[in-house]
Amino acid sequence: MISTNDFQTGVTIEFEGELYTVLEFQHVKPGKGAAFVRSKLKNLRTGSIIDHTFRAGEKVPKAHLDRKEMEYLYRDEDFFYLMDLETFEQISIPAGEIGSGAKYLKENDKLNVVMYGDEVIGVDLPVTVTLQVADTEPGIKGDTASGATKPATLETGLVVQVPLFINSGDKVKVDTRSGEYIERA
């Protein structure tokens, strides 16, 4: 149990049968009446955000989330299959759970999976990934100072803007948060 007086951004709680993480909170002590805590909570299963007001000092159950390092094995139409690196158990995650992050994954990549008991809540991608350029226009020798870019299709199907000197077959680092080219690997 955690008191609403001890709320911090990022704390995970169980509330009304759902898992929420605290996005914002504000302790309010009006001149008249009892103190209360205004909070903005994000549902970890659905992604919806709610506003809720708690009484000051009210106790709510704290949810304990585990992070496990897993290896991405393969994907079929509807699921991604991962292997726990400690127990070698395989789990399947619906493709919707990974969402747009799927464009950054290739087989044998390591991921951190956020779990609540046996339930998968989310997947933390690495901040950067190294991917091979599958297709792009030929590079122009010496054209490095102009800052111009061209589209390149990477091995996972992701399309990013890269400098003109990048060729097919080169490996590039990509930021998974923004989807932008960082450097040649």
Q: 23 or 100, which is more confident?
A: 23
Cross-strand pairs, 160:
152
Q: Are 167 and 143 in contact (CB under 8 A)?
A: no
**pLDDT tens across 120-151, in order?**
888 888 888 899 998 888 866 665 556 788 89
Where does the pLDDT of residue 50 fall: very low under 50, low under 70, confident under 90, or very high at 90 and above? very high
pLDDT at 27: 92
- Rounded to 5 degrees, what angle do the CA atoms 68, 180, 173 make? 65
In a 10 Å sphere around its CB, with 0-12 CB exposed, 13-18 middle and 19+ buried, how is residue 172 labelled?
buried
Rounded Cα gap, residues 23 and 39, in angstroms: 8
Where does the pLDDT of residue 185 fall: very low under 50, low under 70, confident under 90, or very high at 90 and above? confident
On the question of pLDDT at 96 being above 70, the answer is yes
**pLDDT tens across 31-41, in order?**
888 999 999 99
Q: What domains, with CATH codes, occur in the chain?
A: 2-60 (2.30.30.30), 66-124 (2.40.50.140), 128-184 (2.40.50.140)
Average model confidence (pLDDT) for the chain? 88
